[in-house]
Amino acid sequence: MTRGLVILSDGELQPFNGAYQDIHNAVGGYIEAIPIEHPDITVYVCEDGKALRYRRNMLGELVWDHYGAMGCLEDGDWLAGNLVVLGGVDAEGEDTDLKPEHVARIEMIGLAFHKAIVAIVAEVGRRERPDAQEEG
């Protein structure tokens, strides 16, 4: 069993502890490792996530960009559906556990993402109700 995180497409994080079939279940289909520059990180997505019209995973994209998306985001690529984030692969090509420092970093990225969403929603609310500015 390998430990890591699942980044749900709604921006929530869940612990992951499983094997190949569990990755398949978490991403909702055939798994694909996406290109990433960091040797201690492996990110799996559903190979058919876009074709299946899975929801865009914006938090996943922030994490992907943080660890080195290899120019994919700049080229217009995006991530669909849930992601499983594990450690790098070992000498035998097997997944390893996600290191605690990376779990903490991804959790911080998630917290910043949620704070930004809350601020945007609040600002949109103020703009839709100009009288709300006078109340607060």
Q: Note the pLDDT of residue 133.
A: 53
Q: Note the pLDDT of residue 75.
A: 77
Q: Note the pLDDT of residue 20.
A: 95
User: In angstroms, how far is CA 9 from the centroid of its own chain?
Assistant: 7
Q: Note the pLDDT of residue 130.
A: 67
For the whole model, what pTM was predicted?
A: 0.87
Q: DSSP character for 34?
A: P
Domain ranges of the chain: 2-135
